Structure 1
Amino acid sequence: MAAEEDVAAGKGNGNGALCLHSYWRSSAAYRVRIGLNLKGLKYDIAPVHLVRGGGEQHAPGFAELNPQELVPVLQHGYRNLRQSLAILEYLDEMWPEPPLLPATARDRARVRALAQVVACEIHPLNNLRVLQYLEHDWGVPQPEREVWVKHWIDGGFRALESLLADNPSTGEFCEGDQPTIADCCLVPQVYNARRFGVDMAAYPVIARIERRCLELPAFDAARPERQPDAPATT
């Protein structure tokens, strides 16, 4: 336990330095940037370009860091942390304030479920490797790929809108009046939805929560266009 506390206080191996392997438009990396910002943690960005040269995530050096060949990876001292939801919960356990999960088991279960609607149901069907597979292996043209993306986002958002609109626990944010990991997942997915032309007018609660989130500096600083590896014009 003492070693854990030392690392959290910046006293462990590598001074507990935080380095996020990220791509500016990766929604999974976007989630983690929000979480780091909400915790007020200083971190470095190590850009991993997911398209250039066939994708830097497939290079031997990065594949050794993450055998899944995916971002994000968060390096904390000597630790290599993978999978965005696991990283967000790690941050919450290492730096409990401000919390990213509510105090009660019931509310934590709701927040995790909302986060997983995005991270486990919507996003996996529309991430880069799926779209590249549709393009390169099945020869699916771009217009049809975009229909695919919008179909799965709309299906997930219909469910998510209902879960948010019909629950008294929904407040300014997905759960009450403080952002949680559910909001960390929601905002990047709305960014993707707009990118692919999803009509957000159909999802007023989701859109309202996104607007409220983006009023906070932690969310604003995590926007894709504000990242060091973002192109000059996005």
Structure 2
Amino acid sequence: MGGPKFDKLQLYSYWRSSAAYRVRIGLNLKGLDYEIIPVHLVRDGGQQHAPEYRAINPQELVPTLLHGQRRLTQSLSILEYLDEVWPDRPLLPATARERQRARALGLLVACDIHPLNNLRVLQYFEREWHVPQPERDGWVRHWIEAGFRVAELQLADHPSTGTYCDGDTPGFSDCCLIPQIYNARRHGVDMTAYPALCRIEAECLALPEFDAARPENQPDAH
């Protein structure tokens, strides 16, 4: 496999973090060995806020990927880094047009859905505005459903959609979509409205690389 092998990969991760979940899938699809270092986002007031972790990632977010002396943040940029350093088993498609589509699908999740439902947003609602749990859950479902309606339209019957989001090889878009579907199910979103998404989810989760990345299969799962 191409790319430097001598630098150890360590992933600061939280089992339920969809951003960390994306990177776990990408690392697995690349066939790369890595060590999980759990960062509990709730315990002790959030271990991501501890000075030791802030020194690693000033944003106080997961994931952070350590590649030797390099400290890599932001899940989508990490996925692209993996493709550039280890070009075998590419996560992004071969043509500019298809790569743009894959990135657009990934950004739909990572920029339009996920930030509105991030733990720190929900904690702010609770702490500062005392928003009750049912209203917070409704907020989460609303923005997931708004994004999924678009994703369904972009994936259903599109000529570039195959077994997976982009053809018949799992990659970048799937790394982003599957963790968001996990979040959707956890928050009670009715997924029957999104048959294309559910079909792709089933195909992905049947693969060992996706199965190993599932939240319930992580060393810090509880």
What TM-score results when the alignment is normalised by the length of structure 1?
Answer: 0.93
What amino acid sits opposite 1:118 in the alignment?
V
**Structure 1 match to 2:88:** 97
Equivalent in the alignment of 1:25: 16
Residue pairs, 1:178-189, within 5 angstroms: 178-189=169-180
SS in 1 for 2:55: helix
Alignment equivalent of 2:160, drawn from 144, 161, 169: 169
The match for 1:129 is: 120
Q: Which residue, 4, 9, 22 being the options, matches 1:9?
A: 4
Give SS of 2:65's match: strand
Match of 2:142 among 139, 151, 156: 151
Residues 1:114 and 2:109 aligned together: no
Count of aligned pairs = 221
Aligned to 1:48: 39
Post-superposition Cα deviations, 1:85-132, rounded to whole Å, max 9, x if no partner, equal 000000011111111001100000000000000001000000100000
- TM superposition shift of 1:52: 0.2
Tell me how far apart the structure 2 counterparts of residues 110 and 93 of structure 1 sit (CA, whole Å): 18
The gaps in structure 1 that reach 5 residues or longer are: none
Counting aligned pairs with the same residue, the percent is 69
| 8 Å Cα contact 2:23-2:75 kept in structure 1 | yes
Deviations 1:196-230 (A, max 9, x none): 00000000000000000001100000000000000
Detail structure 1 runs of 4+ shifted over 2 Å in the superposition: none
State the Cα RMSD in Å: 0.8
Name the aligned partner's letter for residue 172 of structure 2: I
Helix, strand or coil for the counterpart of 1:145? helix
Is 2:66 the partner of 1:66?
Answer: no
CA distance in 2, matches of 1:116, 1:48: 24
Who is 1:214 aligned against? 205
Unpaired segments ≥5 residues, structure 2: none
Amino acid in the other structure paired with 2:47: E
**In the TM superposition, what is the alpha-carbon distance from 1:9 to its structure 2 partner?**
2.8
- Counterpart-to-counterpart distance in 1, 2:121 and 2:94: 36
Q: TM-score when scaled to structure 2? A: 0.98
Q: Distance in 1 between matches of 2:188 and 2:35?
A: 32
